[in-house]
Amino acid sequence: MNVLSSRFLLHPSDPERSRRFYRDTLGLAVYREFGPPEDQGLVFFLGGGFLELSGRSTGRASEATALWLQVSDVEREYVRLLAAGVSVLREPRQELWGLVEMWLEDPDGLRLVLVQVPHDHPLRRDQR
């Protein structure tokens, strides 16, 4: 398989609420908009991938799924998102494997894992 592009698809229970959360609260950059203005789909940049919000669902997110987002400063995002009223499931802390992680929840209960790679972590070392 030669994957040319990829997206994580979300079908939120309340599309407008989720659009505001991802666009305005998290501050993700919009890659493209599509569909009718009254029920517009949005695709956001996620580093090397994309997140698409489209359609509608009646269920909550599965606990078996999480969205992993690497950021430059987890503590700064923690303070900003807490002030914005975001549901933080777990405050930032360094994991046994060396990454700093914070867990939060989107409006439908999807767990988002914000991750910071410390400067001395092996992921930052040149592997060549």
Cβ-count burial 65-85 (b if 16+ within 10 Å, e if not): eebebebeebeebbeebeeee
Residue 108 has pLDDT above 70, yes or no: yes
- Where is pLDDT greater, at 32 or 59? 32
Instruction: Look at residue 115 in the predicted model and tell me its pLDDT.
Output: 93
Residue 93 C-alpha from the chain's centroid: 18
Q: Which of 85-94, 101-110, 117-126 has the lowest mean pLDDT?
A: 117-126
CATH number at residue 18: 3.10.180.10
Give the pLDDT confidence of 18-38 residue by residue, as tens digits: 999 999 999 999 999 999 988
Number of domains in the chain: 2
Instruction: Look at residue 95 in the predicted model and tell me its pLDDT.
Output: 92
Q: Both 67 and 125 in a single domain?
A: yes
Q: Both 9 and 71 in a single domain?
A: no
Provide the token pair at 12: 């939120």
Q: Both 83 and 70 in a single domain?
A: yes
Percent of the chain past pLDDT 90, that is, above it, reads 73
**Which pLDDT band, with edges at 50, 70 and 90, does 48 fall under?**
confident
Tell me the residue range of the domain where 73 lies.
Answer: 60-128
The whole-angstrom separation of Cα 125 and Cα 128 is: 9
Q: Both 50 and 73 in a single domain?
A: no
Instruction: Look at residue 46 in the predicted model and tell me its pLDDT.
Output: 93
DSSP class of residue 11? -
3-state secondary structure of 51: strand
Q: Report yes or no on whether pTM surpasses 0.95.
A: no
Q: Both 54 and 66 in a single domain?
A: no
- The single-letter code of the amino acid at 18 is S
